[in-house]
Amino acid sequence: MGRRALRKIDPELDLNNHLRSLDELPDSWRAADWFCRGGPLEIEIGSGKGLFMVSASQLRPAHDFVGVEVSAKYARFAAAKLARCRSENSIMIHGDGLRFLHDWVEDSSILAVHVYFPDPWWKKRHRRRRILNASFLRDVQRVLRTEGRLHFWTDVEEYFRATLDLIGEEPDLVGPYEVEESPAEHDLDYRTHFERRTRIQRAPVYRAEFVKR
C-alpha cells in the first residue's frame, strides 16, 4: 500500500529538542542525557508519522518516549509534531531502531518497546529484512526491565503468526496476551496512522503483548 505525500514542515519550527540522528549519538549516550528526571522509558521502533509518539507522550506525561525512524523525512515529520505540541517527554531519533536498541540501550532499562505495523516484506527472499527477527527479539528481552512489555500490532496475519513463534523461543517473554480493539472516539483515536488506515478499510488488526519475566 502506498503512502501519501507528507505535509510540508514549517521551516521556522525549531526541531532541536525533538530530533537527533543516530550517527551523532555518543557511545556513552544514556536516556538521562535528554530526560533529566529519568522517568520510565518507552521506545517505539518505526514511528512513521508519529501519531503514537504524540498521543502516548500526552497520555503518560510521567514517562519518557524515544521514537526511532529509519526514514529521514518521517523522522522529521514526527519530530515536528512533537515540537508543535511542545512535548517535554519525547524525542525522535533518525536511524535504524535495531542498531539503537543493540548498541545504545542498557540491560533491563526499558518499560515498554512498541512495534506497530512494521514493513511486511512480503516476498519470501526479502523476509530476512523484517525487523521482528531473532536478534532484535533477543535485544528486546535484554533491554526490558522485569514486568516491562513488548507491544506488537500488524495487519499481516502471516507476519503476526511467524513473530509469535519466534517470540515463543525467548524464555523470558511471557505471552501473547490479547489486546482488545477499542472504539475510536474521534478521527485520530487510533494507536497509529496505519491502525487508522487498516480499520477504516475494515481489515483485521492482529495485536499482542508480551511481558518480561
Ligand X SMILES: C[S@@+](CC[C@H](N)C(=O)[O-])C[C@H]1O[C@@H](n2cnc3c(N)ncnc32)[C@H](O)[C@@H]1O
Q: Of the ranges 55-63, 83-91, 160-168, 190-198, which one interacts with ligand X (CB under 6 A)?
A: 190-198
Q: Of the ranges 29-37, 39-47, 81-89, 200-208, which one interacts with ligand X (CB under 6 A)?
A: 39-47
C-alpha cell at 35: 530526560
* Interacting positions 49-78 with ligand X (CB under 6 A): 68-71, 74
Q: Is 136 in the site for ligand X (CB under 6 A)?
A: no
- Crossing angle of helices 134-143 and 157-168, in 10° steps, is 60
Close Cβ partners of 142 (under 8 Å, ≥ 6 residues apart): 107, 108
C-alpha cell at 62: 510521567
Residues recognised as catalytic: 119
Among 118, 139, 163, 206, binds ligand X (CB under 6 A): 118
Q: Is 48 in the site for ligand X (CB under 6 A)?
A: yes
Q: Is 194 in the site for ligand X (CB under 6 A)?
A: yes
- Crossing angle of helices 72-84 and 51-59, in 10° steps, is 30
Residue closer to ligand X, measured from CB, 70 or 79: 70
Close Cβ partners of 183 (under 8 Å, ≥ 6 residues apart): none
Which residue from 77, 21, 83 is spatially nearest to 50, judged by alpha carbons? 77
Among 17, 39, 96, 166, binds ligand X (CB under 6 A): 96
Residues at the contact surface with ligand X, assessed by CB under 6 A? 45-48, 68-71, 74, 96-98, 116-119, 131, 192-194
